[in-house]
Structure 1
Amino acid sequence: MATGHDTSTSTSPFDFARAACRRGRARAAGIALAGLGALGTASLPAQASGAPQPWGQRLVQTQELPAEALAKFALFQDRKDTADADRSAGAPPQTQAWTGEEMALPRSGNPYTLVVRVSGVALADGDASARWMAGWSIHGASRGGAVPQVAARGVRAGQVVEMAGAAAPLSFKEDRTVPPVLEFAGVSNLRMDRVRLEVWSGMRSSNPVERLMPWMPLFTGAVFLGLMLWWRRR
Structure 2
Amino acid sequence: MIRLLLADDEAMIRAGVRAILAADPELDVVAEAADGRQAVDLTLSHHPDVVLLDIRMPKLDGLSAAAELKRVAPRTAVVMLTTFGEDDYIAKALDVGASGFLLKSGDPRELLAGIHAVADGAAYLSPKVAQRVISQLAGGRMARGAQARDRIEGLTEREREVLALLGAGMSNAEIARELHIVEGTVKAYVSAILTRLDVRNRVQAAIVAHEAGLVT
Which TM-score bucket, shorter chain as reference?
under 0.3
The structure with the larger Rg is 1
Higher RCO (CA-CA < 8 Å; seq separation 6+): 1
Q: Specify which structure has the higher proportion of strand.
A: 1
Q: Calculate the TM-score normalised by the size of structure 1.
A: 0.19
Q: Which TM-score applies when normalising by structure 2?
A: 0.20
The answer to which structure has the higher helix fraction is 2
